Structure 1
Amino acid sequence: MEVERSPGGANLAVKTIEIDDDPLVDILQYLEEACDWIEAGLGRESDCGGYVAGNQPQPGVLVHCRQGISRSGAFVVAFLMRKFKVSYSAALTLARESRTEICPNSGFEKQLRVWEFCQYNVFRDDDKQEDKHKVRSKKQSYKTWLAERDNLLQRGEEDVNRARFSSLASMAARFGRRRQEEAPGEQAKGTNEDEGRKNVEQKQRKESWERVQKMEQDWNERLIRGQVHAEGDDIKGPKE
């Protein structure tokens, strides 16, 4: 994971995670740091003139990959899961309100469900990190996923390629189904309704942003009332 400053003097920070859109890539090792980065970015004061839905100046974080479908989508979903303490399915639905194309590959989806089961932290918090170079202890669910992945890699190239092809086919099928579901509505709008569609999309983005703000407000109120308690390990999943 690399961090750099944007050229030209703009107050922009860039974090790069070099991974392939491969179901066997371990994204769990990066999720905590990536979520912390997004959280910090959203908490910064914006001095770059950026605006979000509703034309209100807000700090923002752009999460992107080549297609904006699987890799970036997986990290956005992971952030929403941790931020609002919701399930994978709930976070995916929320993310798709802003970008319907989001569709993590099957390997990333499985890891995000491990992320959910581990209460959004795949490492044990009881480790004293006095030594920065100390290897953090992994929770059992994370160890199990790694063992299954490593076992598949050891079985040979044919099995690995079969798993990768299966993941690609599954993602293509899911993405295709979503496009088919959206097609009738898009055709009904007609070419003469482009401006109206833009207005509707802007309204939807504004409503989605307001919904996220409401969820965050509710979450903060629950924290104040003491209704939220930290979990020590991956012994039970979150409640939606």
Structure 2
Amino acid sequence: MRITTTLDQIRAIPGLYISDYPSACDETLLVRHRISHILCVLRWEDLQSHGTPQNSSAAQGVTRPVIQRKLVEVNDDETEDILGRLKGMTDWIAGTLARPHPYDNANPESTEDRSSSHTGGRVLVHCNQGISRSGAVVVAYIMKSLTLPFNQALRIARESRSLIAPNKGFEYQLRIWETCSYDVLDRGMDGDSVALERKAAYDEFLKQIDEIYKHTNEQMISLAKRNWLVQIEARMILARGADFAIMPLLNIHSTEL
């Protein structure tokens, strides 16, 4: 079976793309879409398991630009703290899109991207499959840049790539991202320095995760995690039709587990 690679352009955000890992390694696609920056949302072990990407034969003879790459190590696990990294990643994307494009050597046969009014950098966000981790980052960026709630931002993202589906833990964190106004830290001045303090919703989330992993054996951790997922799923079902609010969950570390 032949694998078809593609970069999906987020239509609501000119210059922003999402893909899986194989597509992010396809030089022909990168040149055609004039990708200048790549945000890789994977674990280092994931990259090692893929090995060195092979150059596409279709890219022979095409001028290869130097693409700037940024790796943010994220595990596709519901309890992974992607929330604390969203501001850094979305700020990086915004800065890249706002700067003039660093080169102009797109594939001469491609007219689609040259006709775009976007003249800034072009960012490709990818994980392994272009579904959960990179999907969460793209949704977070749409939420922040367009000041949209999670539900609406997810719909907009899926209009460009229907596969986008952050795992349940990431969805939960994106809803917290919304309640925190797209920044999980309060910033104030302490003399001549900036004082950072976690917002209450982010702090509560971290406490919930700590309660899961304070157990001493894998079975207890697994049961505590399952209990947590059931509770956040119930809350998110309600939130899909109403405002979302984070509050302490019950019995994550129950001895009955």
Normalised-by-shorter TM-score class: 0.5 to 0.7
The residue number in structure 1 matching 2:202 is 142
The code of the aligned residue for 2:206 comes to: L
The code of the aligned residue for 2:89 comes to: A
Distance 1:20 1:129, change over 3 A: farther
Distance 1:11 1:101, change over 3 A: same
Aligned pairs (5 A) from 1:161-240: 161-162=222-223, 163=225
How many residue pairs match? The answer is 163
Deviation by residue 1:155-211 (Cα, 9 ceiling, x = unmatched): 3422433436996xxx9xxxxxxxxxxxxxxxxxxxxxxxxxxxxxxxxxxxxxxxx
TM-score relative to the length of structure 1:
0.59
Equivalent of 1:114 in 173, 176, 196:
176
The code of the aligned residue for 1:44 comes to: R
Shift in Å at residue 40 of structure 1?
1.0
RMSD of aligned C-alpha atoms? 3.3
* Seq. identity, %: 36
Shift in Å at residue 117 of structure 1?
0.3
Aligned pairs (5 A) from 1:57-136: 58=118, 59-128=121-190, 130-131=192-193, 136=196
Distance 1:44 1:150, change over 3 A: same
Equivalent of 2:86 in 20, 23, 31:
31
Structure (1/2) with the larger strand percentage: 2
The residue number in structure 2 matching 1:157 is 218
Mapped to 2, the partners of 1:38 and 1:108 lie a distance apart of: 19
TM-score relative to the length of structure 2:
0.55
Distance 1:118 1:14, change over 3 A: same
Mapped to 2, the partners of 1:153 and 1:145 lie a distance apart of: 13
Deviation above 4 Å: which 4+ runs of structure 1?
Answer: 50-54, 127-131, 164-167
Gaps of at least 5 residues in structure 2 are: 1-38, 41-62, 234-244, 247-257
Secondary structure of 2:87's aligned partner: helix
Mapped to 2, the partners of 1:142 and 1:157 lie a distance apart of: 25
The code of the aligned residue for 2:136 comes to: A
Distance 1:116 1:159, change over 3 A: farther
Asked if structure 2 preserves the Cα contact closer than 8 Å seen for 1:96 and 1:102, the reply is: yes
Gaps of at least 5 residues in structure 1 are: 3-7, 172-233, 236-240
Mapped to 1, the partners of 2:191 and 2:127 lie a distance apart of: 32
Structure (1/2) with the larger helix percentage: 1
The code of the aligned residue for 2:150 comes to: Y
